[in-house]
Amino acid sequence: MLPVTGKMPTMNDTQLLRYARHVLLDGIGIEGQQRLLASHVVVVGAGGLGSPALLYLGTAGVGRITVVDHDEVDLGNLQRQIAHRQSRIGHPKAASACASIAALNPDPQLHAVHRRADAVLLDALLPTADLVLDCSDNFATRHLINAACVRHKKPLVAGAASGWDAQVSVYDSRQPQAPCYACLFPPDAVFEDLACATMGVLAPLVGVVGSVQAIEAIKLLVGSGQTLAGRLLMLDAREMRWDCVNLQRQAACPVCGSGVDSGS
């Protein structure tokens, strides 16, 4: 279970009604919902993956949500990025996503950051965060987020989708045997970023993956169930086949390996 950064709140009658279906759940209950309300989640990327993840985290009652995205809404986003509206074309995605969350639930404190995620920004945001969702769309940003999460010992819920295929995992550097993102995808390896603009992506696929990311985040925040730490969940939507493979921490990993100074 994560130690939450905020003060544990007492729910009012309206909140008890709003979150009743969570309160009834084994593994959440009153205490779990209070933990959600006291939590701070940083989400990098307010596009295809970030849209469903943000909407579900917001409606679930995560008390503080910081949305980081440097981009603006355009018409080509609306096929899959359900947090945005046609009336917001040209508006910053971070602000648009926050507006959609606020329209669904007035409880979360929302912070829109309209800039590209970099090491300086992440180092400023992560100390007060309970966990991070990587909903970005390129390897460079994913590695920056992963390195920051390892430095600050914050769990990372990372997803990716392209075409008909997707993957999601949890990288939790607090667990001695759990790998980080760089254990699976070394920073010095050459990987091709498959942009949606050139490769395409099935619209509901990002909804599935973003929703799984939200589930994993909620489980981490309330301390319920078994997370995907140490496992990679993969989906082939064309065949509707799920596969899960075990991951190992790499001693020689340049980010989380035994020879790395975690304070650097």
**Strands across the sheet containing 241-246:** 109-113, 64-68, 40-44, 131-134, 156-162, 165-171, 231-236, 241-246
How remote is the C-alpha of 184 from its chain's centroid? 18
At 34, which amino acid appears? Q
Which parts of 61-127 fold into alpha helices (H)? 93-104, 119-125
By the 8 A CB rule, do 155 and 2 touch? yes
How remote is the C-alpha of 226 from its chain's centroid? 17
Q: Between the CA of residue 75 and those of 20, 38, 51, 91, 214, what are the distances in Å?
A: 37, 36, 15, 11, 25
Active-site residue among 98, 196, 253, 256?
Answer: 196
Distance CA 25, CA 108 (A): 21
Distance CA 86, CA 213 (A): 25
207's CB contacts (< 8 A; 6+ apart) are: 48, 51, 52, 80, 82
In the chain, the largest separation of any two C-alpha atoms, in whole Å, equals: 53
Is 135 among the residues known to form the active site? no
The set of catalytic residues is 196
